[in-house]
Structure 1
Amino acid sequence: MKKDKKIVLVGCGSVGTSFVYSAINQGIAQNYVLIDVNNDLAEGNAIDMTDAQAVLPTTFQTLKAGTYDDCKDADVIVITAGRPQKPGETRLDMVADNAKIMKTIALSIKASGFDGITIIASNPVDVLTQVYKEVTGYPKNKVISSGTTLDSSRLQKLLAKKMNVAPRGVHAHLIGEHGDSSVAAWSKAVVMGRPLKEFVKEGAITEAELKEVWDSAVHLAYQIIEKKRATFYGIGACLAKIVRAILIDEKCQMLVGTYLEGEYGVNDVYVSVPCIVGENGVEQIVNWDLDELELKEFKESAEHLKEVFKTAKEAIK
């Protein structure tokens, strides 16, 4: 196994740079390359972040602006490039514009000879991850959408606040689309080691309150965008968590987007489900026994994404 790990970031906007800053603070890799259509932006961020090298608790070897040639020997590529989401716009509204951008990026990475794992966070993330996979032809386990990792983190935070416990004591997840049709898998939620349904039976939290928590988690991004035009710290930390799991072969369960071929009764679409993530990317899809309503809503979310992918496919012809 190669000792010195290398990460390439494509897209040096707020999301991408938040990811790299989180990664260098955690000592995830030894070498980083920043790629952006605006090379000055990549160079400026590289200089800015290397200013922290002398004071970080763990250091790195190199962090520089680069080109797609640098992708050839990378272990992981993280793609965050694309136009940002505008106030009042859904993630799916950006599909045609960002599908064209993703196709260009995918072809450039493929031409470099890259053979590692790609994590995509560009929106609409599930659709653009499928565009990337189809353009490159890379195996599905090596092409991963950040999916509902952030959505689930938001759900955990909000549920923890509602129940007055620490967020790390909450295991609750959103599945399906990274967006408005995501589904709260309450039947699998655990709080402080106890099934959430036990708290509902005891009256500690009501079904109505759970619906409020789901609604807040799903729409929190719109609130942030309205106030500061973009969300980036949360997703930056989530991307670092996914990449870390790959580089140290953590084999932990995460809610990431992967290509389904019959799992959960769904085919031919990228959508978020629980997966075991390790050095080979998505190493296993975990089949949860969802309740009847959750499974129905999950399938509807997946079908919605399949319809949107048709728009993306038309845009990149």
Structure 2
Amino acid sequence: MRLKAALPKLELYLYAAVLYLSLLWAGTWIWDASADNVNRKVFKKSVKPGWHYFGRKMDVADFEWVMWFTTFRNHILFALAGHVIFAKVCSLISPRIGMDDWYCKHRSLIYGLYGGLAVLVSMGGGFLALVLSHCFILYSVALVKRKWIVFVAGLASLATFKMEPFNTWQQGFVTGYFELQDILFYGGSCFTIMRCMSFALENCEKKDGNYTFTDLLKYNFYLPFFYFGPIQTFDQFHVQANNPNLTRKQREMWNITTGALLHLGAIFVVDVFFHYLYILTIPNDMKLVKQLSDWSLGQFS
């Protein structure tokens, strides 16, 4: 029989204090290194003007972070904002035209159609056809109701995006080129397969009959999920999407507001780090790294 005992609070506070003071001490060394070496040749490539009110240039070596505040902000967030506005407009119009009950029963289908239209506009009909083909193949596998076959088929489908000539052939379905094309292509395709696997596994557990192909499409093309992963498994989505009596939970708006403020605070803190601690650029200059103290090198590890 194992005994579980929590450490004394005073001891935990002591450990936390030592940890945060160590990080703060190491941060001061990196702060000085960032300020004193900003004119080095390596820094000029990745330290660019950032938010003016910080009064310092920004480390742009993190491509994903920069992309979120440029291309993602202008495209993906616009599409997601459209999803919210579209849902709100539908909820306001449906009671006025006497279709409130119909909308409550079919809102997941309406959101799926909006998501499919957004994918069609952003990536083209060829990409939409490719996604639908993966959905159809894995839906056919789901009807067999064998979990090991689902895993094999899903992993094989994912592998086609790492194997030639299958990868090049599938990329050919997307015409033209724009900055986010590769990310949206692989994100939309691979996450589609993961959602289809979630759907297929749940279908294996279903005792009476099968879920419909429409259920899979509603789940896959729900826009907040499409480019950003499964996020929610099919069983949870199916219950929530088919609940006709949605009620706002107690303090739900307060929780949403609090979560949003926490995320904005985290974004602000990380951006401060990119403006004052060039943690991503400094390791690229080995001559400078050799001059730094052990405290500074400990931050990079």
Q: What TM bracket, shorter-length normalisation?
A: under 0.3
Asked which structure has the greater CA Rg, the reply is: 2
**TM-score under structure 2 length normalisation:** 0.25
Higher relative contact order (CA 8 A, sep 6+): 2
Greater per-residue helix proportion: 2
**TM-score under structure 1 length normalisation:** 0.24
Greater per-residue strand proportion: 1
